[in-house]
Amino acid sequence: MAKSIFAGSKDKKAVLDIFCNRFQPTGYTEGAHSTILKARLKLLATLNPEGKLKLMPEIAEAEEALQKKIAAIEAREEAEERSRTGSFE
């Protein structure tokens, strides 16, 4: 369904932004938030199954933005873990 929505959209960037926002886990999740997002990051690549060149930059931009968000979440999770355990390795 996501592929058909993306393919039929005139504003691909807006659709990618919506998808990336929906990748965010809601409520209680088993495992680290960053790990869940990393797994969902792979879904962006599936939106261009034919490998259309004009879509690649938009998808790459969305992937980069999500990777930056994941890095920030990983840093936060690490800091939270250190504060809980008192470990400063």
Percent of the chain exceeding pLDDT 90 equals 22
Q: What is the pLDDT of residues 34-76, one digit of tens each?
A: 888 998 888 888 888 888 888 899 999 999 999 999 999 999 9
Cβ of 66: how many Cβ atoms within 10 Å? 22
Q: pTM for this structure?
A: 0.76
Q: Given pLDDT bands bounded at 50, 70 and 90, which one contains residue 88?
A: low
User: Which residues span the domain enclosing 72?
Assistant: 2-85
Hey, what are 63's tokens?
Answer: 């992937």
Widest CA span in the chain: 51
Would you call 44 exposed, middle or buried from its count of C-beta atoms within 10 A (0-12, 13-18, 19+)?
buried
Domain tally for the chain?
1
